[in-house]
Amino acid sequence: MAGKKTNKILIIEDDSFISDMYRIKFESEGFSVEIAPDGIQGLEMVDKNHPDLILLDVVMPKMDGFSVLQKLKEGVSKGIPVIMLTNLGQKDSVEKGLKLGAVDYIIKAHFTPLEVVDKVKEFLNK
């Protein structure tokens, strides 16, 4: 009997409390999760692990999320959907993220971790 494919999620987030909270929530829902603590490591992990979806923070050390998103959309990983997951909620930030190619822009303070998992499931099941 063939098992259901496990979706791989990459969380690029510098706050370990937040990334661990999302990792636990996604793993409890059957996802395989990798975490990168900054944009540069995130790009390296995308090349190595080929995730099904990326959750990307904006404000991070070494390389901000907009720069990471731009690099992702220029390279071979351009087909991997990216959801911005940040507390940067100004209208121009949201517009910039979507214009650069994010499929959604989630403001952390407005959604529970379970709601974020549900949004990811909904997107991956399209």
Residue 17 domain boundaries: 9-119
Looking at the domain assignment, is residue 47 inside a domain?
yes
CATH assignment of the domain containing 60: 3.40.50.2300
Looking at the domain assignment, is residue 59 inside a domain?
yes
* pLDDT tens-digit readout, 79-117: 999 999 999 889 999 999 999 999 999 999 999 999 999
Reading the block at residue 9, the tokens are 């999620």
Cα 28 → chain centroid? 17
Pairing of strands 53-56, 32-36: unpaired
The pTM of the full predicted model, rounded to 2 decimals, is: 0.93
Looking at the domain assignment, is residue 28 inside a domain?
yes
